[in-house]
Structure 1
Amino acid sequence: MAFNAENKLGELVDNEAAYAVLLKHWPKLGTAGPMLNMGRGMSLKQIAGFPQAELSADTLQAIVSDLENL
């Protein structure tokens, strides 16, 4: 499966390799708790639009770059 910024967070979290990429660049995700469940149906691109996600454009690009190489 090819991954990109349009993938839903739930798809990425449910894939072990993709989840490892997320945690590498966005360690806050590992402590998101209930917020993680709320974001499962949203794409990474959508989530990056929320300031409280603390997911910068540079971090998003680094995540996407690594995901594309899985």
Structure 2
Amino acid sequence: MALTAESTIAVLLANEQAKAILEKHLPGMTSDPRLKMAMGMTLKQIMPLSQGKITLSKIEAVAADLAAL
């Protein structure tokens, strides 16, 4: 199954390349302790909870890099 921005955080973190993409566009996200609560959510679902750190443009950049995998 292809990884996309609609994949859950848990699925993205389970793949080292996807995890690196998240860290590239959203520095510090993968080490944030609050991320454990969002494992079943997508980036768009956690965007409102991110205090502006996750934006639609960042999600689109992640999606573009994931599509290139």
Q: Give the structure-1-normalised TM-score.
A: 0.86
- Secondary structure, in 3 states, of the residue corresponding to 2:3? coil
Which residue does 2:57 correspond to in 1?
A: 58
CA deviation after TM superposition for structure 1 residue 23, in Å:
0.3
Unaligned runs of 5+ in 1: none
Cα 1:58–1:46, aligned 2, differ >3 Å: closer, same or farther? Answer: same
Q: Which residue is 1:2 aligned to?
A: 2
Q: Is the 8 A contact 2:22 2:29 kept in 1?
A: yes
Q: What's the % identity of the aligned pairs?
A: 38
The residue that corresponds to 1:69 in the other structure is: 68
Structure 1 residue 53 displacement after superposition: 6.1
CA drift at 1:30: 3.2
2:44 is equivalent to residue 45 of structure 1: yes
Encode CA deviations 1:1-57: one digit per residue, 9 max, x unaligned: 311121000000011110000000001213311x11101000112112324361011
Q: TM-score, normalised by structure 2?
A: 0.87
> What is the CA–CA distance in structure 2 between the aligned matches of 1:29 and 1:10, rounded to whole Å?
13
RMSD: 1.5
Match of 2:26 in 1: 26
Once residues 30 and 3 of structure 1 are traced to their aligned partners in structure 2, the CA distance between those partners, rounded to angstroms, is 17
